[in-house]
Amino acid sequence: MNTSNLINEIIKRRKASKDNDFNYYNSIAEDHIRAQREPLSNCIKKAKGTSIISEIKPASPTLGEIRRDLNIISIVNQMERAAVIGLSILTEPNYFKGSYENLKLAVDNSHLPCLLKDFIIDEIQLKIAQKLGATNVLLINSIIDISKFYPICLDYGLEPLIEIHAIEEIRDLEHLIEIGFRPTLVGVNNRDLKSLKIDLNHSIEIIPKLKNIFGSEVKVVSESGIKTREQIKYVQASGADAYLIGSSIMQSRNIFQKIKELRGNQ
């Protein structure tokens, strides 16, 4: 799959920072608590009402700085009180201004599943995710070999959220099954990686095909571009099980109230 020059640049810089990741891993004094924390797919299955995975996203390449008052503990508490089913924490430092410390704070100050969201290109990132107590990690199918990384995630006790952007990528998910691994969590990104434009019809087109091929056991998350309750209802018609929402929540003056609105005040 073609990716934009920006995505290639992000990946290039991520690879160049591997030494920093190794140094951070070696600096972690002890494992953080993941006990009694179920992975995202289990929480989606048990959820009542709209399942939102709320993202801690300080910045993005398209929007620049999203939120200045980054009191992570306060943000996590608001998200948890608003009944999100999980947290997604950006750890990419250069373009999204994320950090492993934000993930650590999220894990230490909530009981929710925590997704390490980054451009995973090396096993050291998975080691950090495990040691910090994350339950899930993002695997972007178009930039890595998921048949290699998926089993490594399982070895570390991490549930992968496999992100796809096009119908053609479903074949890679089928290949996972052929080699003995059945995906439990798939994300459909509504952002085109080549143009970086958002179109919710990505979910409308792809999710029914995923459901038809893999059945209801695979939980499907619609990612990117969702700002309103009406958009959630639109995407829900495709069979989406959950919604990963970052920018519109982080831009809101009242995170708690924004999430309640997105959930239909459930």
Q: What is the CATH number of the domain that holds 158?
A: 3.20.20.70
Beta strand 114-117 with 86-90 is parallel
Catalytic residue among 41, 163, 169, 258: 163
pLDDT at 1: 38
Domain count, the chain: 1
Chain position carrying tokens 């991490």: 158
Catalytic residue among 38, 41, 51, 57: 57
pLDDT at 30: 81
Measured at the CA of 193, the angle between CA 39 and CA 103, to 5 degrees, comes to 35
Instruction: State how far the Cα of 229 lies from the Cα of 169, in Å rounded to an integer.
Output: 28
Instruction: State how far the Cα of 90 lies from the Cα of 247, in Å rounded to an integer.
Output: 12
pLDDT at 39: 97
Measured in degrees and rounded to the nearest 5, phi and psi for residue 129 equal -55, -45
Burial class (CB in 10 A: 0-12, 13-18, 19+), 221: buried
Active site residue 55: yes
pLDDT tens string for the chain (266 positions)? Answer: 345 688 899 999 999 999 999 999 999 988 776 667 899 999 999 999 999 999 999 999 989 999 988 999 999 999 999 999 999 999 999 999 999 999 999 999 999 999 999 999 999 999 999 999 999 999 999 999 999 999 999 999 999 999 999 999 999 999 999 999 999 999 999 988 777 889 999 999 999 999 999 999 999 999 999 999 999 999 999 999 999 999 999 999 999 999 999 999 87
pLDDT at 241: 98
pLDDT at 2: 44
> CB-side exposure of 191: number of CA atoms within 13 Å?
18
pLDDT at 34: 66
Active site residue 224: yes
Active site residue 57: yes
Active site residue 248: no
pLDDT at 160: 98
pLDDT at 31: 76
Catalytic residue among 60, 136, 141, 224: 224
Active site residue 117: yes
- What is the domain extent for residue 129? 5-262
Sign of CA dihedral 243, 248, 253, 228: negative
Active site residue 9: no
pLDDT at 114: 98
- Token pair in block for residue 129: 């995710």
Catalytic residue among 51, 142, 189, 247: 189
Instruction: State how far the Cα of 159 lies from the Cα of 175, in Å rounded to an integer.
Output: 18
